[in-house]
Structure 1
Amino acid sequence: MNIAHSRLHRLDLVRLRVQLILEHIGMKIMHNRLHRLDLNLLKLFSALYVHRNVSVAAESMNLSQSAFSHALARLRVQLDDELFIRSRAQMIPTRYADSIHEPVAEVLSTLGSCFAPQTHFIPHESRHEFNFAVTDFTALLMMPRLMAHLERHAPLVRINLTSRSEKLPLAAFEAGELDFALGYSHFDEVQTPLINQWIWWEDCYCTIASDKLERMDLKTFLSRRHILVSPWGEKIGVVDEQLSKQGLQRDIALQLPNVMNAPFVVAGSELLLTLPKFAAQALQGALPVKRFDVPVDMPTYQLKLFTYKPSENTPENLWMREQLQSLFKSE
Structure 2
Amino acid sequence: MNVIDLRRVDLNLLVVFQALMQEASVTRAAVKLKLSQSAVSAALARLRALFGDPLFERTRAGMVPTPRALAISARIGPTLTSIAGVIYEDPEFEPTRSDRIMHLAMSDDLELVLAPRLARLKLAERWRVEFAIHQTNSALWRESVENPRNDLTLTVTPRTQGADVLSEPFASGGYLCVYNPRLLRLSQPVTFEEYAALDHVRVSYDVQRGWVDDLLAARGHQRKILCAVSHFAGLVSILSTTPVIATIPEHAARALTELLDLELSPVPLHGPRFTISALWNARVDGTPQHLWLREVLQGLAAEV
Query: 2:173 maps to which residue?
Result: 203
Counterpart of 2:227 in 1: which secondary structure? strand
Match of 1:254 among 227, 237, 241: 227
Q: Deviations over 1:275-329 (max 9, x none)?
A: 2334333433665743221122223343433333322422222123112213433
Please show how residues 99-118 of structure 1 align to structure 2 within 5 Å: 101-116=69-84, 117=88, 118=90
Please show how residues 1-331 of structure 1 align to structure 2 within 5 Å: 62=39, 72=48, 75-76=51-52, 98=67, 101-116=69-84, 117=88, 118-123=90-95, 125-131=96-102, 132-152=104-124, 154-164=125-135, 167-168=140-141, 169-170=143-144, 173-175=147-149, 178-181=150-153, 183-185=154-156, 187-188=158-159, 190=161, 193=164, 195-211=165-181, 212-215=184-187, 216-230=190-204, 233-236=205-208, 239-240=211-212, 243=215, 246=218, 250-284=223-257, 287=260, 289-329=262-302
Q: Deviations over 1:194-218 (max 9, x none)?
A: x433322233311123432424344
Sort the Cα spacing of 1:120 and 1:262 in 2 relative to 1 into closer, same or farther, 3 A: same
8 Å CA contact 1:206, 1:274 repeated in 2: yes
Gapped runs of 5+ residues in structure 1? Answer: 1-14, 16-30, 77-81
Work out the CA distance in 1 between the residues paired with 2:185 and 2:276: 30
8 Å CA contact 1:224, 1:272 repeated in 2: yes
8 Å CA contact 1:47, 1:60 repeated in 2: no
**What do you get for the CA RMSD once the two structures are aligned?**
5.0
How many residues are treated as equivalent by the alignment?
283
Query: Does 1 or 2 have the higher relative contact order (CA < 8 Å, sep 6+)?
Result: 2
Counterpart of 1:174 in 2: which secondary structure? coil
Which residue identity lines up with residue 73 of structure 2 in the other structure?
A
8 Å CA contact 1:267, 1:288 repeated in 2: no
Which residue identity lines up with residue 98 of structure 2 in the other structure?
R
Work out the CA distance in 2 between the residues paired with 1:129 and 1:42: 19
8 Å CA contact 1:186, 1:238 repeated in 2: no
Sort the Cα spacing of 1:64 and 1:151 in 2 relative to 1 into closer, same or farther, 3 A: closer
Work out the CA distance in 1 between the residues paired with 2:130 and 2:41: 35
Work out the CA distance in 1 between the residues paired with 2:40 and 2:122: 39
* Residue 189 (structure 1) shift: 6.7
Counterpart of 1:103 in 2: which secondary structure? helix
Gapped runs of 5+ residues in structure 2? Answer: 30-35
TM normalised by structure 2 equals: 0.65
TM normalised by structure 1 equals: 0.60
* Residue 270 (structure 1) shift: 3.9
8 Å CA contact 2:213, 2:223 repeated in 1: no
Q: Deviations over 1:147-202 (max 9, x none)?
A: 444445x3133332333367435388414xx3233x43264374672x43332223
Work out the CA distance in 2 between the residues paired with 1:326 and 1:249: 41
Query: 1:19 maps to which residue?
Result: none
Work out the CA distance in 2 between the residues paired with 1:87 and 1:317: 26
Sort the Cα spacing of 1:228 and 1:159 in 2 relative to 1 into closer, same or farther, 3 A: farther
Work out the CA distance in 2 between the residues paired with 1:48 and 1:157: 21
Work out the CA distance in 1 between the residues paired with 2:117 and 2:7: 53
Counterpart of 2:177 in 1: which secondary structure? strand
Counterpart of 1:262 in 2: which secondary structure? helix
Work out the CA distance in 2 between the residues paired with 1:235 and 1:88: 29
Counterpart of 1:310 in 2: which secondary structure? helix
Counterpart of 2:248 in 1: which secondary structure? strand
Which residue identity lines up with residue 174 of structure 2 in the other structure?
C
8 Å CA contact 1:196, 1:306 repeated in 2: yes
Work out the CA distance in 2 between the residues paired with 1:294 and 1:87: 48
Which residue identity lines up with residue 200 of structure 1 in the other structure?
F
8 Å CA contact 1:44, 1:72 repeated in 2: no
8 Å CA contact 2:174, 2:274 repeated in 1: yes
